[in-house]
Each structure stands twice: as C-alpha cells, then as structure tokens.
Amino acid sequence: MFVAGRGSEDPAEGHGRRATLLALAAAVAIGLSLYAIGRVSVSLPVAWALIPSRIAGVAAVTVPLVLRSELRLTRAALPLVLVSGVCEVAGFALFASAPGTGSPSPRCWRRCSGRSRPSPPKCCSASGSRAARSRASR
C-alpha cells in the first residue's frame, strides 16, 4: 500500500491518492470481514458465516457494473477470475474453520493464560475445541 501511495500526484502518471485510499479501504474491509467471520463461525456453520459476505460483495460490485454495462470480462480472463474467487472463498473457509480444529485461537490464549504464545495453556488443547465438544456431546 505504501508503494502505491508513493506515486506522483500528476494526473497523467496515475491516481496516487485515489489508489492509496482504495487500497486502505480494501485492507479495512478485508480485516473487518476476517474479524466478523471468525466471530460468527464459532456459533454457526462455516457456510453460513461465508454466504452473507459473498452476497454483499456481488450486490456491491458485480450488480452495479452489470447494470451500467461496464463489466467487461474477456474469455481469457474468465478462468483467472473463477480461480481467484474459489481460492478467496477457500481461504476464508479455512480461516473460519480453524478454531474448531483444536488449534489455539487468540481468544483461547487470552482467556486461559493472559500471555503471548510461549506454550499452549491446557484449556487450549484439542479437547477444548468445538469439534471435540461436539463429539463428546453425541
């Protein structure tokens, strides 16, 4: 982001300030999305944690471009767009499902130890994971 903002303000050379603001907005949106998905995925299935953000993304980006006839997608770019979309959703899904695998989450570290990560506290073991609790309740 810093490098994008270092460009000249001459309109002939690009839109340095606008690019920096857009990059900052994208970084904040991704951060908020990761935070929200991490919180929601604790109490809901991963699919339900991911669906609202995907719908909002389509509604905010794709639909306006289609309605204004500004969505130009070449045949050569289509596979790249599809692969990047699948990888993005897969990454968010893996992130959302990680706390249920027994790996210590940041919340677990704070709750159990009040310290950084020198050694995992006992309450953060696999037996304290969402998956283990689910198996135990059967």
Does the pTM surpass 0.75? The reply is no
Which range is most confident: 23-27, 29-33, 34-38, 48-52? 23-27
* Mean of the per-residue pLDDT values of the chain: 74
Map out the domains of the chain as residue ranges.
Answer: 2-75
Query: Could you report the per-residue pLDDT of 54-63, keeping only the tens digit for each?
Result: 898 888 888 9
Decide if 137 contacts 127 (C-beta within 8 A). Answer: no
Q: Is the pLDDT reported for residue 26 higher than 80?
A: yes
Query: Could you report the per-residue pLDDT of 85-128, keeping only the tens digit for each?
Result: 899 889 888 888 876 555 555 556 555 555 555 554 455 554 44
Q: What single letter denotes the amino acid at residue 51?
A: I
pLDDT score recorded for residue 135: 47
The Cα–Cα gap between 38 and 60 comes to 22
DSSP string covering 45-57: -HHHHHHHHHHHH
- Token pair 């073991």 in the structure block, residue: 125
Q: What percent of the chain has pLDDT over 70?
A: 61
- Token pair 């006992």 in the structure block, residue: 122
pLDDT score recorded for residue 100: 56
Long-range Cβ contact pairs of 73-80 (< 8 A, separation 24 or more)? none
